[in-house]
Structure 1
Amino acid sequence: MIGSPFHVLAVVDSTNNYAMAEVNSGNVTNGSAYFAMEQFAGKGQRGKQWHSPPGENIVLTVVVQPPIKLSQQFLLSATIALGAADFFAKYAGDETKIKWPNDLYWRDRKAGGILIENVLRGSQWQYAIVGMGININVPQFPGGLVNPVSLRQITGKEWDSLALAQDLCSFLDRRFNDLPLVSEKALLDEYKSKLFRYQETGLYKMDGEFFSGIIRDVLPSGLLQLERDGKILSLGVGEVEFVKTS
């Protein structure tokens, strides 16, 4: 079960780093969760840093043994994103979305992010180390951040971030247990039903150029199918930037 055992750490550089060290030392079991009250070198997608005030947010890594092939790793990413969206929607409502590939959004603002790192033994996918950072109690964000939002800003209430992290684990567990049982098509259809800007015109930036585009599909490989001037572009993570317009 995801979240069992559930470890609470006072201070770490990164929960993903900590979990990776536990994997390498053989001290981890499938479903182990690591929650940090404070981390000082959190990792985001593509080498970005993620900073969180001590005790204010969900800073969590779970370690799982994927029940699917390594070639299907986007299905795990979609599953985790759906679990996180299920969790956040419980508190923030049905305007919760997933921004491709696996950011957590509320309306057009970022509430959290997910970073998955894989541990391979030869050709075997031994573990996935799933790091999640979700904004919970931040009343106001520093300038320079493009579009952040916290659960406190949405609801006007303060929350127990530790209790919410444990609740998040239960949502992830339900989705993870369903992963080998649902069809690829059913999983991706549900993922797309919650996808930010799906089948909507939006502003994007690629190679320094701004353009209007429409997300038409997400392939099982995780490639984004973005329509631009009547043509479909197949894009990987980091190849296109979503531009905020409001």
Structure 2
Amino acid sequence: MGTFPADYPEPIFLSETNSTNSYLDELCNKTSVAELTSVYTDFQTAGRGQRGNSWESEAGANLLFSFVLYPDFLEARKQFLLSQITALALQELLSQYTDEIRIKWPNDIYWKDQKICGTLIENDLTGVHISRSISGTGVNLNQESFLSDAPNPVSLFQITGRRYDRKEILCDFMERVAQYYTLLKDGETELIASRYQAVLYRKEGFHAYKDKDGSFRARICGIEPSGALILEDESGKRREYMFKEVSFEL
């Protein structure tokens, strides 16, 4: 294990970088970089998350990586499919080691009510299609404790008491995401969407949410191809939200 498949580029290892997404972006701008090239690091000095959040990570403890795709067959309006295949690959990967791993819309990975993994995807467009997609992920792997005021982080070590080889985990992930990318290229979008919805966090029952008008309880009805989250509140009203328009209250 830990040996990269012959048909994927060997991952690039950096002892330290500002962020793996930024490094890979600059590399792609300077030279020809093969699809499914990945970069991982011991430490990010400026790791980025959704909503401009930073990502707390003890040096050398976790898997911090990015990879590049060139999905020029995919229209920009369907870019949520890239979030789905990345999240599915992560959910399946981590589910080998523990139960109750779920995808929290749009693409965080949760164990029970705690965040084990976050992803930031940055897409470049040419016309109406996506010319390049760089996906950066932080997986809390071997960290023993978290010191920041982030509300609910957890690591796989905290869950299982075991330590994990980062390159081995990255290898497994890249195999899985490549398989999902093949499904995407083959037009299997309904299969991808159904698998995504089957492993959603809070997919059953009513839970607390918050939007610009305040808190409410609702259940998940589904996810639109655009990525919009469809909720139904306790009065039966249907509510539709794009990214950052609603938050899950924990």
Give me the TM-score of the superposition, normalised by structure 1. 0.93
Match of 1:232 among 212, 224, 238: 238
Correspondence 1:148 to 2:153: yes
Residue identity matched to 1:158? R
Report the structure, 1 or 2, having the larger strand content: 1
Aligned mates of 1:112, 1:240 — CA distance in 2: 19
- Identity in percent: 34
Residue identity matched to 1:92? T
Correspondence 1:241 to 2:247: yes
* Aligned-pair CA distance for 1:147: 1.2
Task: Tell me the equivalent position of 1:47.
Answer: 52
8 Å contact from structure 1 (residues 64, 129) kept in 2 = yes
Residue identity matched to 1:161? R
Give me the TM-score of the superposition, normalised by structure 2. 0.92
Map 1:1-246 → 2, pairs under 5 A: 3-66=8-71, 67-93=73-99, 95-207=100-212, 209-228=214-233, 229-244=235-250
Distance 1:63 1:123, change over 3 A: same
Distance 1:176 1:213, change over 3 A: same
Aligned mates of 1:44, 1:51 — CA distance in 2: 10
The root-mean-square deviation of aligned C-alpha atoms, in Å, is 1.7
Deviations 1:88-117 (A, max 9, x none): 111223x11000000011111111011110
Q: Which moved more, 1:201-210 or 1:221-230?
A: 201-210
* Aligned-pair CA distance for 1:26: 2.3
Aligned mates of 1:3, 1:197 — CA distance in 2: 35
Consecutive unaligned residues of structure 1, counting only runs of 5 or more, are none
Consecutive unaligned residues of structure 2, counting only runs of 5 or more, are none
8 Å contact from structure 1 (residues 184, 220) kept in 2 = no
* Aligned-pair CA distance for 1:4: 1.4
* Aligned-pair CA distance for 1:200: 1.9
Aligned residue for 2:67, secondary structure, equals strand
Distance 1:206 1:127, change over 3 A: same
Moved over 4 A (4+): none
* Aligned-pair CA distance for 1:175: 1.5
Question: How many residues end up aligned between the 2 structures?
Answer: 243
